[in-house]
Amino acid sequence: MIALSVLCAVLAAASNATGTVLQRRAAMDAPASDALSPRLLLDLARRPVWLGGILGVVFAAIFQALALAFGPLALVQPVFVLELPFALLIAVPVLHRTLPSAGWRAIAAMVVGLALALAAAAPHGGTPRPSWVRLVPAVVGCAGAMALLVAAARRRPFGAVRAVCLAGASAIGNALAAMLMKVSMDVLSHSGVTGFLTAWQTYGFAVAGITAVFLLENALQAGPLPASQPALTLGDALVSLLLGLTVFGEHIRSGWWLLPALTGVVLIVVGSVRLSRLDLLRAGSGGPPAPAP
């Protein structure tokens, strides 16, 4: 079951990365006046590239639901750090760019780091349906953090900082949606379709997911993908890990296992930072990407 959960999570990360790149391609041409407005989605909905990106998000949600049904939240969501290397690998042909050797080394660092961290931490256990005492404060806390980040973004001009704030809010929204989705999948397995459709968590993860997509569109419009994607993927993994441990009561190995786990985290962070400095979205085509200033 764990292997199947990881496989579904990897497929979800790849699908989501495809959706992100296609949505970024569409958002690049959206008018700045549509920022943080429903008009942005209406404008993007008329673009076939954006619709292809949404299709990638839909497949990602399906694979994610399967992964969460078979494995713990603290295992599934960290796999989504692979979304960053997937996104850049997909962006290379879509945007007619070339990935330098430094990019390949950074991708290798992230993949090895993720494998090392998950193998050492070995997330396991937990309850699939936490009590209200744990679930409700987590929902309120995530929603509050998202609101604060959006407020901070509104005070910043278009650029990397604004993109990071909005991507961070989107990441928390993704983690919140995953938490509620996991509960909903347990309801589905025990109470059938009727129970699934009458559970508030089902509509909660739908609202959280739609909000996360809306914030992602604004993050992609606000600044370059290398600025927003690390905040999106790392933020999702870290918040989901925290929710898995505190809300679902999942466990990770401690003691000397923390050393290789932290080593893996360092490799992920280093690889992510290096990838984020590769400006694959510069104007023009052909030639290797230059380091971001």
Weakest mean pLDDT among 10-24, 84-98, 268-282: 268-282
Length of the chain: 293
Task: State the Cα–Cα distance between residues 210 and 40, nearest whole angstrom.
Answer: 14
pLDDT at 8 exceeding the cut of 90: yes
Q: What is the pLDDT of residue 290?
A: 40
Structure tokens at 221: 């419009």
**The Cα angle at residue 250 between residues 58 and 180, in degrees rounded to 5:** 35
Task: State the Cα–Cα distance between residues 241 and 48, nearest whole angstrom.
Answer: 35
Mean pLDDT value across residues 78-83: 88
For the chain, give the mean pLDDT. 83
CB 1 within 8 A of CB 70: yes
Task: State the Cα–Cα distance between residues 271 and 103, nearest whole angstrom.
Answer: 9
Q: What is the pLDDT of residue 116?
A: 95
DSSP 126-194: --SS--HHHHHHHHHHHHHHHHHHHHHHHTS-SSHHHHHHHHHHHHHHHHHHHHHHHHHHHHHHHHHHH
pLDDT band (50, 70, 90) for residue 270: confident
CB 139 within 8 A of CB 204: yes
Q: pLDDT per residue over 134-167, tens digit each?
A: 999 999 999 999 999 999 999 888 888 898 999 9
Q: 291 in helix, strand or coil? A: strand
Strands (E), the chain: 278-279, 290-291
Q: What is the pLDDT of residue 228?
A: 76
Q: pLDDT per residue over 170-194, tens digit each?
A: 999 999 999 999 999 999 988 999 9
pTM: 0.78
> How much is the CA Rg of the chain, to the nearest whole Å?
18
pLDDT at 246 exceeding the cut of 90: yes
pLDDT at 214 exceeding the cut of 90: no
At position 275, the amino acid (one-letter code) is L
At position 118, the amino acid (one-letter code) is L
Report in angstroms the alpha-carbon separations of 121 from 71, 110, 217, 245.
14, 16, 33, 12
CB 22 within 8 A of CB 52: yes
pLDDT at 293 exceeding the cut of 70: no
